A and B are shown apart, each in its own frame.
Chain A
Amino acid sequence: MRESVIMKIHYGTALASVALVAVHILFRLTQGFAESLQYESVIANYEFLPYAGMLEIILILLSIHGFNGLRVILLELKQGPTFEKSVSYGCIAAMALIILYGSRTIFMTSMGMV
């Protein structure tokens, strides 16, 4: 994939994350901040499907943005074809793992399996 396409995705995920995380924080203000972090309240959030969907989207956006950022930082630290391939594939693998693990948590909680 061309670097300009990757960077378009990078900038796009950053903007979308800011918007969705703002919504997420605003939801905390619908009740007291401490109350909103109580166990029952958090579980209720996950069981509300549109909200769980938003959390899933935030997870995907931040993982893509964060791991691409990490890739860029690492590519600047050291150069060489082997290192660069390892960094690129390593970041994609780590991103996929985080998304899978996070999605599993969101899915299980929203289905009432926790």
Chain B
Amino acid sequence: MTSEGLQISKEESGIIVSPTKTITLRIFRYNPKINNESKFDEFKIPYQRWTTVLDAILEVKKHLDHSIAVRYSCRQASCGSCGMKINGRPALACFTKISELNSDVITIEPMNNFPIIRDLAVGFERMFSTHKKIKPYIINEESEINPGTKEFLQTPEDVEKYIQFSSCIKCGLCNSACPTMATDSSFVGPQALAQAYRYVADNRDKGKDDRLKIIDDSHGIFRCHFAGSCSQVCPKGVDPAMGIQLLRGYLLGFRD
């Protein structure tokens, strides 16, 4: 159907097919069960205009080296499983097209600030524990699921205050990009702080004081340097840096 080069073929159905090019993937390899040395393996693979980095990795796994460890699931930027460092920048492999990287060599590494399990697979224990710590749910005695209670009505303005923060898919890219996470092993992290804001700003929630107490410690919200890299790498358009600043407003008494 297609061949390597510049030829553009046209199927009988009228669908235009792009020419196939090749790309070199440099994939980080590390298996602590074998030894503590890491290395990069290089693979040349064909790609199309629409090929994502995850597609390329799966192509390598299928035809060249099935032992590469990678975590993935939905392939549509919904599950947040395939976060990794692509050409030095944290990104979702399923949401990054090779053709958009403008590079003949793509270096793929595991995310920073996460312990490496093997190759590209990292452990999420720290992120999930800080996420749980900030109580990521609505705290309200008058639960709307109790019989006889009314549903909690919200105006569009009420929803607007937190809605972007509820798009978080817990992929960990923000924590990977955070410079404070790199040095402070006890820092709460932008993911948990953005989620704390998401619930504090929700007018159905009554757990604001509890959450503010949790994040108001020596490794809490005030260790954020406002580098803003968390917001730059978020694949869902969440702005954790802004959430952190708004949350600081509550703690410093600028917001009620």
Q: Give chain A's interface residues, CB within 8 Å of chain B.
A: 2-4, 7-8, 11, 72, 75-77, 79, 84
Contacts and interface: CB of A to CB of B under 8 A. Distances in A.
A3 B252 contact: no
B216 A2 contact: yes
B222 A3 contact: yes
B216 A4 contact: yes
A4 B222 contact: yes
B253 to A, nearest CB: 8
Contacts of B180: 76
B183 A4 contact: no
A79 B186 contact: yes
A3 B222 CA distance: 7
B223 A72 contact: yes
Interface residues of B, number: 17
> Secondary structure at chain B's binding surface: helix, strand, loop or mixed?
loop
A3 B218 contact: yes
B222 A76 contact: no
B97 to A, nearest CB: 37
Nearest to B253: A8
Given A3-B222, A4-B216, A72-B223, 5 more contacts: A2-B217, A3-B218, A7-B252, A72-B222, A75-B184
B89 interface: no
Contacts of B253: 8
B251 interface: yes
Contacts of A11: 252
Interface in B203-224: 216-223
Contact of A3 (B185, B186, B187, B220): B220
A7 B249 CA distance: 12
Contact of B216 (A3, A72, A76, A84): A3
